[in-house]
Structure 1
């Protein structure tokens, strides 16, 4: 069972919403290329309202914890993915189907990295810290 702090649990729970968003974008079936700008506009809207604040919170809280635990390379990888998705979001000013597919794929890959690696590392680190506190007389 994860021992994540309340803040980290909230960030992890937001991943569920992100995966619903990924599914929604994947299931959007434009009738023509003329529909792509509207889908991209909606993706950008969600990025600004939900994803960017999520990234900022991870960068302020989770990534420093990773670095302190000796996982600087993993923190750097997460940050690099954030930056890549920020660039992809800006590129959606002039969208294409391929760009939307690439963005959604990157977002899914990012959530998988965090769920399968980052949170496990942080969970183990928090458990180690809790055990060290418990052992301190």
Structure 2
């Protein structure tokens, strides 16, 4: 799908987030402590360096564009997903395999939601 030039950088970041999500899920399923530890460290580092800044951009630059009553469910879902992913950080720092699996699953679902629903709504306004 061809994205608006304004959304292309965020879409590229989504590709990296999906790759991270898959690696988190794989490591969690492996049951290997070393893989889990490494994946948790990678997830925490990626969250701080890429995901959280990405979330802030969406929260401050994109979501305010969606002011209609029809788009409020999209805004609420986005904010709830961001809160949920931020809430898993403490457990990831403790190398919790369950949190790693949940993080991967939620991150992948969140990216798919944004690409299919949120960004489509924003593009209709641009």
Q: Fold-level match, TM-score > 0.5?
A: yes
The aligned counterpart of 1:97 is 97
Q: CA deviation at 1:115?
A: 0.7
Q: CA deviation at 1:93?
A: 2.4
> What is the aligned residue count?
125
Could you tell me the TM-score, scaled by structure 2's length?
0.84
Counting only pairs closer than 5 Å after superposition, residues 65-104 of structure 1 correspond to structure 2 as 65-67=65-67, 70-104=70-104
Could you tell me the TM-score, scaled by structure 1's length?
0.78
Q: Secondary structure at the match of 1:42?
A: helix
Q: CA deviation at 1:69?
A: 7.7
Structure 1: runs of 5 or more not aligned: 127-137
Q: Secondary structure at the match of 2:95?
A: coil
Aligned counterparts of 1:26 and 1:3: Cα–Cα separation in 2: 28
The aligned counterpart of 1:43 is 43
The aligned counterpart of 1:9 is 8
Aligned counterparts of 1:56 and 1:48: Cα–Cα separation in 2: 11
The aligned counterpart of 1:130 is none
Two-structure CA RMSD over aligned residues (Å):
2.2
Larger radius of gyration: 1
Q: Secondary structure at the match of 2:6?
A: helix
The aligned counterpart of 1:135 is none
